């Protein structure tokens, strides 16, 4: 029973990690860039969600405050994501030569990450802010046993969103354009795809997912703080690499695996070792299957 319970909690945690991992993997898919700022967009999403939910009535008005607050957080995060892309990444695209083309965007990405994190520290102070509890009580499910209502909601919501995303990527024009861009940017542009717009939309989509992940994460952990992006961001990145970076289904799978793995560790004596294990997983994946579980490695032609 304890194992099953941990499995359910792990899936919940993993679903949230997967939502954040999707942002890393989508941006990597179109730009081949590790967007270090993504974890801080996640954190900003948590704060925007917090203020919006509190402003709309908080726990006294759970349905409206929760839904509207999440939507506001999504819009806010998307704006931050698009701004980051516009200010820090777009001016660099197609410029520089040699090693600079690769290193420069990484430095700006890191710079944006540090900037946002310290901005949050300055604006919201470093203290932990409590998140309003929108869900109370426990569900009694057959087989699994007790599961708190908020966790059940998180799991269901995440799965619905991931299915929706899969439909968006596979069935819509935007999804097709995004996939085309990630396969070959030059060819996509020649086929009449406005690459800059698709890139901006990818950032917006990734940031919205991070905002949903942030609100759900805070419902579970019930606090927001400026450095929260670092821990979840690292886990999410490892999840993306584990599944195969650039691969959307891979990010979902990787996220769930990381979540379950983390909860399994908590059952042992070394509950503090989750992040050490995540790091070890990253090293092992890079050694054994660098393209990730679902990724395929491409041979580079000169």
The binding site for another protein (CB under 8 A) comprises 32, 34, 36, 87-88, 91-92, 96, 98-100, 102-104, 106-108, 110-112, 114-115, 117-119, 121-126, 230, 234, 237-238, 241, 245, 270, 272, 275-276, 278-279, 282-283, 286-287, 290, 300, 302
CB of 258 to another protein, least distance (A): 13
Say how far apart CA 93 and CA 71 lie, in whole Å. 31
Say how far apart CA 131 and CA 91 lie, in whole Å. 37
Question: Is the alpha carbon torsion for 187, 193, 196, 199 positive or negative?
Answer: negative
CB closer to another protein out of 8 and 274: 274
CB of 301 to another protein, least distance (A): 10
Give the strand pairing for 138-141 and 145-148: antiparallel
CB of 143 to another protein, least distance (A): 33
CB closer to another protein out of 88 and 219: 88
Burial class (CB in 10 A: 0-12, 13-18, 19+), 172: exposed
What residues contact residue 42 under an 8 Å CB cut-off, 6+ apart?
A: 20, 23, 77, 210, 211, 213, 214, 228, 229, 232, 233, 236
CB closer to another protein out of 112 and 155: 112
Tokens of 18: 């997967």
Q: Comparing C-alpha atoms, which of 54, 56, 75, 55 is closest to residue 64?
A: 56
CB closer to another protein out of 2 and 298: 298
Say how far apart CA 41 and CA 227 lie, in whole Å. 11
CB closer to another protein out of 24 and 217: 24
CB closer to another protein out of 253 and 282: 282
Largest CA distance in the chain: 62
Query: Please, are residues 77 and 45 in contact by the beta-carbon 8 Å criterion?
Result: yes
CA atoms lying within 13 Å on the CB side of residue 26:
31
CB of 206 to another protein, least distance (A): 17
Say how far apart CA 33 and CA 29 lie, in whole Å. 8
CB of 145 to another protein, least distance (A): 30
CB of 103 to another protein, least distance (A): 6
10 Å Cβ neighbour count for 137?
A: 7
CB of 199 to another protein, least distance (A): 17
Tokens of 94: 């197609």
CB of 151 to another protein, least distance (A): 25
DSSP E strands, 183-293: 223-224
CB closer to another protein out of 24 and 131: 24
CB closer to another protein out of 95 and 140: 95
């Amino acid at each position: 029973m304890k194992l099953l319970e941990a499995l359910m909690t792990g899936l919940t945690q993993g679903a949230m990690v997967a939502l954040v991992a999707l942002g890393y993997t989508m941006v990597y898919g179109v730009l081949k860039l590790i967007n270090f700022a993504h974890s801080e967009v996640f954190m900003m999403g948590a704060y925007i969600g917090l203020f919006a939910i509190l402003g709309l009535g908080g726990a006294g008005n759970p349905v409206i405050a929760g839904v509207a607050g999440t939507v506001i957080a999504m819009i806010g995060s998307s704006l931050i994501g698009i701004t980051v892309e516009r200010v820090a990444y777009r001016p660099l695209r197609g410029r520089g030569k040699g090693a600079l083309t690769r290193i420069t965007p990484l430095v700006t990405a890191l710079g944006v990450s540090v900037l946002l994190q310290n901005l949050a520290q300055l604006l919201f102070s470093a203290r932990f802010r409590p998140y309003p509890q929108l869900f109370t009580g426990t569900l009694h499910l057959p087989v699994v046993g007790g599961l708190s209502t908020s966790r059940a909601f998180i799991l269901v919501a995440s799965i619905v969103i991931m299915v929706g995303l899969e439909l968006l990527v596979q069935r819509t024009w935007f999804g097709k354009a995004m996939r085309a861009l990630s396969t070959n940017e030059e060819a996509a542009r020649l086929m009449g795809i406005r690459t800059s717009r698709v890139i901006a939309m990818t950032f917006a989509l990734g940031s919205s997912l991070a905002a949903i992940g942030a609100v759900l994460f805070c419902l579970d952990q019930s606090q927001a703080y400026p450095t929260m992006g670092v821990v979840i961001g690292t886990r999410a990145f490892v999840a993306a690499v584990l599944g195969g970076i650039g691969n959307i289904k891979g990010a979902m799978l990787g996220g769930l695996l990381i979540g379950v793995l983390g909860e399994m560790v908590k059952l042992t004596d070394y509950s503090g070792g989750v992040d050490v294990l995540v790091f070890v997983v990253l090293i092992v994946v890079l050694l054994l299957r660098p393209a990730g579980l679902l990724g395929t490695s491409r041979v580079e032609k000169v």
